[in-house]
Structure 1
Amino acid sequence: MSLDSEMRSIDIRRIITGLALAAVLLAALWLRGWPLLFVILLVAALGLWEFYSLFWGPTGRIPSRICAIALGWGMLCLTWMHRPQDALVCLGAAFVLAAMSFLFRWDVIEEEDAFAASGIFMAGMAYVPLLLLPATYLSTLKLIFVLAAVAISDTAAYFVGTRFGHHKLWPRVSPNKSSEGAVGSLVACVLFCAVYGGMYGKAGWFAFALLGVAVNAFAQLGDLFESALKRSVRIKDSGSILPGHGGMLDRADSLLFAMPMVAVVDQWFFFF
């Protein structure tokens, strides 16, 4: 198969997977309630499993993974039930368990990298379920906004970078990302946000255009962060569950950074 044929095959798989994901998300957002919570919990579980697989391998430290998923689900469900203070208790419980594991592995088993394992455990808790919390309380209108803005940013970056990318954005972190793709991502996101704000927002199109700059900056930061994680352990994709995209983290990395930013801005400014 030629390189052009292979690229077309990847593009088609990427488009089909993207449309399928969009359909699932739109259905969950329309139904709200338990269907939306189920999707959030599924993303959290898959994201945590993939994160730990980067450092522990596909089957390493299974009990730690199960514990992290259970505590992460507790954080998300309790926030969904409007009990954020109890969600923080789950995060605190994760830290206590990580501390106990470190003490045991360092003193009894005498592992030299005992603290590294506990640090990875807590990093996963902070990276996935903690950053996913806004998905449990943002309104449908706000969730659609941030999901669409991030999706448009990622799509524009991919296609503009693939067709016109000649200058590397940050080769050591992500050798395939180009400056042209980053600019295309920014322009597409700002245009979408400005149109969205003009149609549905309370702050006007210009304020939403500025918000689009922030959304895109955080989305690209999240993408670069996850790319750096993979590069640090010499892995191309976090998983293979999503054809054309890789793993769940490969698809949700931008959203994990952009959504909390939108949630914070929403507390201080009246965009919606």
Structure 2
Amino acid sequence: MPMIEKFRAAGIVTRIITAVILAAVLIAAWVTGGWYIAALVALIVVVGMGEFLFMFQPEGGWGMKMLGLVLAAGYVAAAAFLPQYPLEHALGVCFLLVALYALVCWSREQTLDPLRRAAVVLCGLVYLPMLLAPAIHFSRWEQLLIVLVPAVSDMFAYFAGVCFGSHKIWPAVSPKKSVEGSIVGLLGAVAAACALGFFCGKAPLACFAALGLVMGVMAQLGDFFESALKRAVNVKDSSRLLPGHGGVLDRLDSITFCAGTYAAAAAYFPFF
């Protein structure tokens, strides 16, 4: 197949237009900073949480879904307004509220459904607000890092996979991902981290290279994880909100894993 036909089949034009719009929104919030970042994180988390909940239960369970959305927003608000408040305590409060609501529902239904719905909500809270909320208090360069590294990795992997990807890396989880795309994506992640470290970082460049490699691996694992979620419920995209990209979860998959990875690494080693 000619290269131009490969890109047309992959919907590259639509993907690029949507990516440019998303980049403009992210850059505007990043440049403005402050509460704009917190508001953007809250919006992303709530929309992503909604997609997550509806993926696993398209119908019914409206009370648990609403509780999940409220708790996701509340978790981000606690992170933004109460930075001194340990977030594990906020997660504990979320667990108690979900468990109590599930208990009430179970007493009425006497089935496993309320407990399954509760498990989905709790998993969504760990997957989205818990991993993303700490980014509110990252420095501006750290915020740029957790978005830039997975974005560059994904872009490099995508183009390399379309152009010359021929060996499937994990077809049981994501049939279209290739070994070639994965390797090029890792190289892109390392290059992005090193470039940011060279201009803005305080740690040695070798540390940023190692960080980029780890974050590149985690970005791809985040992508695989979300692919597994979608295959488990037999859907192609988490939603149709973003033309050419699917839903918010389809764009967050790499960033959530990278944000959590960087938060853990930065707690022990100062990069900026």
Answer with 231-240 or 84-93: which moved more.
Answer: 84-93
| Mapped contact 1:78–1:84 kept (Cα < 8 A) | no
| Mapped contact 2:201–2:271 kept (Cα < 8 A) | yes
State the shift of 1:183 in Å.
0.6
State the shift of 1:106 in Å.
3.4
Deviations 1:100-134 (A, max 9, x none): 23333434311134322211111111111111112
Paired position in structure 2 for 1:269: 269
State the shift of 1:5 in Å.
7.7
| Mapped contact 2:67–2:98 kept (Cα < 8 A) | no
Paired position in structure 2 for 1:178: 178
Specify the SS of the correspondent of 1:184. Answer: helix
Answer with 39-48 or 111-120: which moved more.
Answer: 111-120
Q: Distance in 1 between matches of 2:107 and 2:63?
A: 20
State the shift of 1:211 in Å.
0.7
Answer with 187-196 or 96-105: which moved more.
Answer: 96-105
Structure 1 counterpart of 2:83, which letter?
A: R
Q: How does 1:104-115 map to 2 (within 5 A)?
A: 104-115=104-115
How many residues align? The count is 270
Paired position in structure 1 for 2:25: 24
State the shift of 1:8 in Å.
5.7
| Mapped contact 1:48–1:65 kept (Cα < 8 A) | no
Q: How does 1:57-76 map to 2 (within 5 A)?
A: 57=58, 59-76=59-76
Q: Distance in 1 between matches of 2:133 and 2:10?
A: 35
State the shift of 1:137 in Å.
0.7
Paired position in structure 1 for 2:54: 53
State the shift of 1:228 in Å.
0.3
Q: Distance in 2 between matches of 1:254 and 1:202?
A: 25
| Mapped contact 1:105–1:111 kept (Cα < 8 A) | no
| TM-score of the aligned structures, taking structure 2 as reference length | 0.93
| Mapped contact 1:197–1:205 kept (Cα < 8 A) | yes
Deviations 1:35-86 (A, max 9, x none): 22221111011100000111111x5322222222221222112211243536
Paired position in structure 2 for 1:153: 153
State the shift of 1:150 in Å.
1.0
Q: Distance in 2 between matches of 1:143 and 1:84?
A: 20
| Mapped contact 1:71–1:90 kept (Cα < 8 A) | no
State the shift of 1:89 in Å.
4.0
| TM-score of the aligned structures, taking structure 1 as reference length | 0.93
Does structure 1 residue 198 correspond to structure 2 residue 198? yes
| Mapped contact 2:61–2:117 kept (Cα < 8 A) | no
RMSD: 2.0
Structure 1 counterpart of 2:253, which letter?
A: D
Does structure 1 residue 97 correspond to structure 2 residue 97? yes
Q: Distance in 2 between matches of 1:260 and 1:148?
A: 15
State the shift of 1:214 in Å.
0.7
Paired position in structure 2 for 1:167: 167
Q: How does 1:31-50 map to 2 (within 5 A)?
A: 31-50=32-51
Aligned residues with identical type, % of pairs = 37
Specify the SS of the correspondent of 1:190. Answer: helix
Answer with 3-12 or 228-237: which moved more.
Answer: 3-12
